[in-house]
Chain A
Amino acid sequence: MIEHLDPWPFINGAYGISVLFLAGTALLTWRRLRQAAKRLAQTEAS
């Protein structure tokens, strides 16, 4: 028999980790892209 649990901590956990992953990877990717563009511009200028 399955014990009845409050599902909300599990729902919040699933949404929380998904949002953290999407926001985190977006932020890291944006930083990498900006740094790559900056370094390329510096190298081309020198």
Chain B
Amino acid sequence: MQSMHSAGERTARGNLSGRKQAGWLHYFANPGRFARFARPILPWLGAVSALLVVIGIVWGYAFAPADFQQGNAARIMYVHVPAAWVSMSGYAMLALCSFFSLVWRHPLADIAAEEIGPVGAGFTFICLVSGALWGRPTWGTYWVWDARLTSVLILFFLYLGHIALVRGFESRERGYRAGAILALAGVVNLPIIVFSVQWWNTLHQGNSFSLSGSSIYPSMLYPLLVATLGFYLCFLTLVLARVLAAIMERKTSSLLLANAERDA
């Protein structure tokens, strides 16, 4: 009896905690509330991300040591690797927003997914171009159809597909649903990108980071981590600013529509 009572209490507490978590999620899913929360954060986030990007890039370009095998060409790593990580994390965020959009129909999730697409595509483009520029002096070619390069190119096309789908319907709602389904289906590409260098023989080097640590020497690792943090914060700043702008644009449109209806 005692144990049943405790189990019941535990379940009730679990439900309450789950409801609290869901409540927190729903609380910030309101676009107006989210805008009031995000607006004061944005300038600080922008300043910190710009500072970290500048420090990381200058450190990598001018002060980090040259690689013992690749020489100075390895300096491209300080823009290529952060762009690659951000492009994959950005897609994971896009898929998460799409999931929230399909399950809970949060309007903020739709706006966020719409605004993540172009920023993520931009970072993926930087990853592809910097990778090609790194490939020429080290591999002797800009491009090979190896598994890592091809899967990242597919990621770029997934971003472009999402951008086109979201904007390609007369009804905004239908565009969001179609884009969300594409984004969720495309998640399968993320583990393929990560493990492609283990599953297939690729010209691209293996992963330098794993759960057990990093194979990069600290004098090269620190500028890489600073640049990566800067790129991540830069991505967040850009997405946050675009979401805020989109919320304001929608509010303007609905006010104009209400004014027009009142005048008619």
Partner-B contacts on A (CB < 8 A): 2-3, 5-8, 10-11, 13-15, 17-19, 21-22, 25-26, 29-30, 32-33, 35-37, 39-40, 43-44, 46
Contacts and interface: CB of A to CB of B under 8 A. Distances in A.
B122 A21 contact: yes
Nearest to B66: A7
Among B71, B75, B259, the one with the most A-chain Cβ atoms within 10 Å of its Cβ is B75
Nearest to A33: B245
Given A18-B57, A18-B83, A22-B234, A33 B140 contact: no
B255 A44 contact: yes
Among B46, B50, B57, B133, the one with the most A-chain Cβ atoms within 10 Å of its Cβ is B133
Contacts of B249: 36, 39-40
B215 to A, nearest CB: 22
A44 B248 CA distance: 11
Interface residues of B, number: 41
Contacts of A10: 73, 76, 133-134, 136-137
A interface: dominant SS: helix
B255 A43 contact: yes
Contact of B245 (A2, A17, A29, A46): A29
Contacts of B76: 10-11, 14-15
B255 A11 contact: no
B252 A43 contact: yes
B133 A26 contact: no
A26 B256 CA distance: 28
B126 interface: yes
A2 B122 CA distance: 31
B220 interface: no
Nearest to B119: A25
Contacts of B222: none
Nearest to B127: A18
17 contacts: A2-B138, A3-B140, A10-B73, A10-B134, A17-B126, A18-B126, A18-B130, A22-B234, A25-B119, A25-B122, A29-B245, A33-B248, A36-B246, A36-B249, A36-B252, A40-B252, A43-B255
Given A18-B57, A32-B242, A11 B75 contact: yes
B11 interface: no
Contacts of A8: 72
